[in-house]
Amino acid sequence: MEKMKICSVLFSIMLAVADASKILVVFSFPSRSHGILGDGIVRNMLKAGHDVTYITPFEYKNAPANLRQIDVSSNLDLMPSDLTTIKTLMEGNNMRFNIFFMYYMMTELVKSTIQNENVQKILSDPNEKFDLVIAEWMISEVPAGFAAVYDCPFIWISSVEIHWMLLRFIDEASNPAFTVDIMSTFTPPLNFVQRASELWTQVKHSLISYLILDRIQEYTYHTYIGPLIEKRGRKVPEFNDIRYNISMIFSNAYVDTSSALSLPQSHKYIGGYHIDENVKPLPEDLQKLMDGAKNGVIYFSMGSNLKSKDMPDELKASLVKMFGTLKYTVLWKFEEVLPNLPPNLHIIKWAPQQSILAHPNLRLFITHGGLLSTTETVHFGVPIIGIPVFGDQFVNVHRAEKRGFARKVDLSYTMSDELKKTILEVVDDKRYAEKAKELSVIHHDRPVKPGDELIHWVNHVLRTRGAPHLRSPALGVPFYQKMFLDLAVVLTIFLTVAYILLKRAWRFITSTNFPFFQIMEKMKICSVLFSIMLTIADASKILVVYPFPSRSHANLGDGIVRNMLKAGHDVTYITPFEYKNAPATLRQVDVSSLLDLMPADMMTIKSLMEGNDISINVMFMYYMVSEMMKATIQNENVQKVLSDPNEKFDLVIAEWMMSELPAGFAAVYDCPFIWISSVEIHWMLLRFIDEASNPAFTVDIMSTYTPPLNFVQRASELWTQFKHVFLSYVILDRVQEYNYHTYLAPFIEKRGRKVPAFDDIRYNISMIFSNAYVDTSSALSLPQSHKYIGGYHIDENVKPLPEDLQKLMDGAKNGVIYFSMGSNLKSADMPDELKASLVKMFGTLKQTVLWKFEEVLPNLPPNLHIIKWAPQQSILAHPNLRLFITHGGLLSTTEAVHFGVPIVGIPVFGDQFVNVLRAQIRGFARKVDLSYTMTDELKKTILEVVDDKRYAEKAKELSVIHHDRPVKPGDELIHWVNHVLRTRGAPHLRSPALGVPFYQKMFLDLAVVLTIFLTVAYILLKRAWRYYRSGKSKSSKKNN
């Protein structure tokens, strides 16, 4: 408890650091809608208690004392007055689709902002300091230079949904096979032509950026920002260094209307943060008008940038006439007075949009489709008709239409009739309003409100000095390595050389009496033996399914159950271990017979020291898991649950253990399904909700490598993925499919339903929770249907130690060392000579040593104490604990980080090697290899970790990161389980990558088409050239 108090004090100090920060907010784009988003950032930063300096072209009204405004209203003069008038845009003069014009405009805007005299004052003042810079990204990365001037972290705000142009600075550009450019009118899934178009868009933009924009930006940075950095006595960093040194990106979007892309941990959705939590009351006259509208109200606004008064006169007249034929009261945001209005049409020059949208009488919102407007309409649950004009409006409206709460009408001189027809359709068809309300529920159903999310992660960046632990491992990997082009070159050279040598050898063999067939027979035998050796060496009302017969896995299962019970659910729990003190809402289904499946000597320390680690034998693990799944389903207690036709469940939650068969339980009960990964999320599971992670910068769960990877390591990881996929396809998938149709399908048929295909059920996953967090895990890009819940199994209220243990630890003057090999491995199974040498070595230490040991050991030194049962979390929480010696299981390493304790890891099997290696890289652990002669090395390492304060300090630092989340892991688990239940399986979180075949993701079909096209073109051009030359030759001969 004292240790928790210390961690709490450290956390409070870091909170105080964040609360007292100076933040520079840069929103210099001269557009009112962008100004509203900037104001939202500022309002939340002020709410969090920060001192804010705000570079803006628009005045922030009623500014408090801790806000300083830097006026850059001169930027308004940069925008041509007729650039975005409706009439201009209707005539086809949409300069926003002109890439070069947009690049030019943004460059001039950034230069104008930096050169503004008010901005120059704060840039040139050597005493001016900021703890953080937050800026809006608008096709230029030069604003990141502000952070270089003040030597502080930097955050981008994306005013639209996150997209590839921004993602490349914190992770990698998204794949255009299933994602679209922010200006695109396509929405996934994409056909062949659309994929080719999106790929070309990325290539074109990247090429223009590389050849032109990047050079201009670099010049601008070194000309206008560089000198200011030099004045502060620091070397000017390279432009690429500053634009790739981004702590975080917030995007003004959410999955209610956006694509559920895989996104890096340094990206957060904050869509809706600009909306006032407390809606302001309407002006009295407008309130009275809307209250009295018997048939409801239609609200029409073209946003803050487009003005309805700039419409062509004939369009205005036809709209007025059309609105007059409706039975609804119509509010039109219009900047001038319109004469001869019908009685139901009312002009409002200033529209309190959020208050209007919140009124219960509003039936429809006619909008241009700007992201602020579409976000607000989802927030308040109002259907829309979109009349997109430019920019991202087309995508926004198209997505809204696809989501089912909108219809699109094209802007034209003759649109009135089509608009009326669409109005009547949307208002009369209740499905549009129902869908808007449904999406509104999704929009609001988040663990924390978007404004609080923004505040939390800004403070997190401040507290962790830039959040380097959130940096994606993909960021530093070149394209050729991600695509394994270097490996392809090496293999090509190898195969070419091998072909030449074999060809020459064949010539030699056939030209002599060489005993070829005898050697061939020998090679066949060698090949068979090699294959066999490969197999041997490599050969692996809520229903909660945790049948794996391991106490550590059961601890995680108990954590799921405890949280589900806390949330008020009725839980049926399939488990081989009894859940103690079960409440009335928990029914346990006993599968303890599974314990007999595990060979008694399979997991002993002595057996593992002798090299009998079956966890690295792929084929054996596949066999074991397959048998365990069969035994679970065939267990008589499970059979009772499955065969009862009246038994129903709303959700199935199961642990993934190299088998997707448990997903069949959800097929029986026709309900959503959630996987729990007991380890960090990995490629074998990710492929069922998104796509397998790239082995160029991610590793297999059993791998001992950690990114960044060298050439050999990347090749090894690629081979591991390929090998597992091949074995799964050839063997495991066939076995699983057979078991599914044999043991589960009959129960589905008995319920009168058609049996779905095995692939359909295993890819129909609502969500995956992984028992990990970014404190020690890789900060991978992950789909929206994945959530970290690492630490959920840890009790929030640490239980007190037994009296004798409390007294012992309290009285340990030199501190305590705790040694445990976990719940599966028993120290009693160590070789006798190792036990004896460890006892002797522990006796030479000045610290008190607690050893979790299952038997009585004689002749112990006075400082060594044996405990058969160890309340681990309570021991780790004690302030006198100096060190934890562990096997490196994920539960133990998670608990060590939770309580801020450094470790010495002695990994034995499975993921323990990866866990310890990552802990060592993070700086709070050292590794010792398990061996008969490890004692001297262990003592040396113990003394190093205990005496060097950096290990304990790093453990405390990671503990702060572990605890610094918007919500606790248990509450996160409860929220998203409830979200799946509320949204009938959360289909809006389904990744667009899931349904795209590999050949399409790699554009192999496009490559084939281009190859055929270029080949045909080459042949035709070659023939045309021959024809031309022959004709010219004949003509020459005639002339002669």
Q: How many CA atoms lie within 13 A of 638 on its CB side?
A: 26
φ and ψ at residue 87, rounded to 5 degrees:
-65, -45
pLDDT attached to residue 693:
96
Q: How far apart are CA 795 and CA 340, in angstroms?
A: 70
Amino acid letter, 135: A
Which whole number is the average pLDDT over 480-506? Answer: 90
What integer pLDDT is reported at residue 521 of this predicted model? Answer: 40
| Beta strand pairing call for 586-590 and 767-770 | unpaired
What is the C-alpha to C-alpha distance for residues 409 and 420, in angstroms, rounded to an integer? Answer: 10
Q: How confident is the model at residue 529 (pLDDT cuts 50, 70, 90)?
A: very low
CB 160 within 8 A of CB 137: no
Nearest to 977 by CA among 542, 439, 453, 437: 542
**Tokens found for residue 310:** 């700039």
What pLDDT is recorded for position 536?
31
Instruction: Indicate if 284-444 has the same CATH topology as 22-269.
Output: yes
The DSSP code for 776 is T
Tens-digit pLDDT profile for residues 217-254: 999 999 999 999 999 999 999 999 999 999 999 999 99
Q: What is the b/e burial string over 548-575, where b = at least 16 CB atoms within 10 angstroms of the residue's CB?
A: bbbebbbbbbbbbbbbbbebebebbbbb
Supply the DSSP symbol for 263.
Answer: B
Q: Give the bridge partners for 386, in sequence order.
A: 367, 408
**Length of the chain in residues, anyone?**
1040
Assess whether the previous peptide bond of 189 is cis (omega < 30° from 0). Answer: yes
Sheet holding 248-251, edge to edge: 67-71, 51-56, 22-26, 132-136, 154-158, 248-251, 267-269
| Residue 653 CB partners (closer than 8 Å, separation 6+) | 542, 543, 544, 545, 560, 564, 673, 674, 676, 977
pLDDT tier, 535 (very low <50, low <70, confident <90, very high otherwise): very low
Give me the numbers of helices (H) and strands (E) for the chain, helices first please: 42, 26
Type of residue at 647? E
pLDDT recorded at residue 539:
34
Looking at every residue in the chain, the average pLDDT score rounds to 91
The span from the CA of 748 to the CA of 725, in Å, is 29
Q: Which bin fits 761, alpha (ψ -120 to 50), beta or left (φ > 0)? A: alpha
According to the model, what pLDDT value does residue 184 have? 86
CATH 3.40.50 for domain 542-793: yes
CB burial of residue 910 (10 Å; 0-12, 13-18, 19+): buried
* DSSP annotation of 19: H
- The CA-based angle 910-702-766, given to 5 degrees, is 100
- What's the confidence (pLDDT) of residue 1038? 61
Q: How confident is the model at residue 389 (pLDDT cuts 50, 70, 90)?
A: confident
When comparing pLDDT for 706 and 380, which is higher?
380
- What's the mean pLDDT in 44-50? 97
Dump strand ranges (E) for 518-578.
542-545, 571-575
Residue-wise pLDDT tens digits, 763-809: 999 999 999 999 999 999 999 999 999 999 999 889 999 999 999 99
288 contacts 419 by C-beta, under 8 angstroms: no
Q: d(Cα 365, Cα 299) in Å, to the nearest integer?
A: 5
**Integer angstrom CA distances of residue 1004 from 177, 192, 194, 196, 1000:** 11, 11, 15, 11, 6
Q: What is the 3-state secondary structure (H, E, C) of 407-433?
A: EECCCCCCCHHHHHHHHHHHHHCHHHH
Residue 93 has pLDDT above 70, yes or no: no
Looking at residue 615, its pLDDT comes to: 54
pLDDT tens for each residue of 939-951? 999 999 999 999 9
Say which amino acid occupies 466.
G
Mean pLDDT of 547-552: 93
**Which contacts of 713-721 are long-range, i.e. CB under 8 A and separated by 24 or more positions?**
714/481, 714/484, 714/487, 715/484, 715/487, 718/484, 718/487, 720/695, 721/683, 721/692, 721/695
Q: Name the more confident of 386 and 1029.
A: 386
Give yes or no for residue 520 having a pLDDT over 90: no
Assign 3-state DSSP to the chain and report helix, strand, coil percentages, each to 5.
Answer: 50, 10, 40
Q: Helix crossing, 99-115 with 192-208: angle to 10°?
A: 40
Nearest in space to 917 (alpha carbons), one of 817, 823, 818, 777: 777
- Give the residue extent of every domain in the chain: 22-269, 284-444, 542-793, 803-967, 991-1025
Do residues 855 and 830 make contact, with C-beta atoms less than 8 angstroms apart? no
Alpha helices in 880-933 (DSSP H): 890-899, 912-922
Token duo for residue 886? 């562990």
Q: Which amino acid is at 615?
A: S
What DSSP string runs through 207-239?
A: HHIIIIIHHHHHHHIIIIIHHHHHHTT-PPPPH
Contact 628, 723 (CB under 8 A): no
Query: Is 102's pLDDT higher than 70?
Result: yes
What distance in Å separates the CA atoms of residue 481 and residue 484, rounded to the nearest whole number? 5
Pick the CATH number of 803-967 from 3.40.50.2000, 3.90.79.10, 3.40.50.720, 3.40.50.970: 3.40.50.2000
Q: How confident is the model at residue 436 (pLDDT cuts 50, 70, 90)?
A: very high
Tell me if 112 sits within 8 A of 75, measured CB to CB.
yes
**What angle, rounded to 10 degrees, do the helices at 371-380 and 430-444 form?**
90
Instruction: Quote the tokens at residue 430.
Output: 């209740």
Instruction: Please give the radius of gyration of the chain, using alpha carbons only, rounded to the nearest integer.
Output: 33
Question: Is cis: bond before 227, omega within 30 of 0?
Answer: no
Give residues with Cβ within 8 angstroms of 871, minimum separation 6.
799, 801, 802, 805
Rounded Cα–Cα distance for residues 572 and 594 (Å):
18
Could you give the CA distance from residue 846 to residue 814 in angstroms, rounded to a whole number? Answer: 6
Average pLDDT for 703-727: 93
Could you list the beta-strand ranges (E) of 160-282.
248-251, 267-269
Evaluate whether 379 touches 270 at the Cβ level (below 8 Å): no
CATH number of this structure's domain 284-444, picked from the four choices 3.50.50.60, 3.40.50.2000, 3.40.50.1000, 2.70.150.10 = 3.40.50.2000
Residue 121, pLDDT > 60, answer yes
| Spatial distance between the Cα atoms of 593 and 582, rounded to a whole number of angstroms | 20
pLDDT in tens, 821-853: 988 778 878 999 999 999 999 999 999 999 999
Of 598, 603, 606, the C-alpha closest to 627 is 598
Q: What is the pLDDT of residues 613-659, one digit of tens each?
A: 555 567 777 888 889 999 999 999 999 999 999 999 999 999 999 99
Residue 75 vs residues 56, 72, 303: alpha-carbon distances, Å:
9, 6, 20
CA distance 329 to 327: 7
Tell me what pLDDT residue 528 has.
Answer: 38
Asked if residue 158 lies in contact with residue 134, where contact means CB atoms within 8 angstroms, the answer is no
The answer to whether residues 409 and 416 touch, using CB atoms and an 8 Å cutoff, is: no
Give the integer Cα–Cα distance in Å for 193 and 177: 11
Percent pLDDT > 90 in the chain is 77
Domain spanning 22-269 has what CATH number?
A: 3.40.50
- Show the tokens assigned to 44: 């939340």
Report the alpha-carbon distance of residue 690 to residue 995 in Å, rounded. Answer: 9
Spatial distance between the Cα atoms of 304 and 567, rounded to a whole number of angstroms: 44
d(CA 832, CA 230): 66
Counting residues of the chain whose pLDDT is more than 70, the rounded percentage is: 91
User: What integer is the mean pLDDT of 334-339?
Assistant: 88
- Render pLDDT for 859-906 as a digit per residue (tens, 0 to 9): 999 999 999 989 999 999 999 999 999 999 999 999 999 999 999 999
Closest CA relative to residue 465, chosen from 167, 263, 248, 267: 248
Half-sphere exposure of 251 (CA within 13 A, CB side): 24
What are 392's two structure tokens? 């991202």
Asked if residue 608 lies in contact with residue 593, where contact means CB atoms within 8 angstroms, the answer is no
CB 319 within 8 A of CB 366: no
User: Residue 804 has which token pair?
Assistant: 């004798």
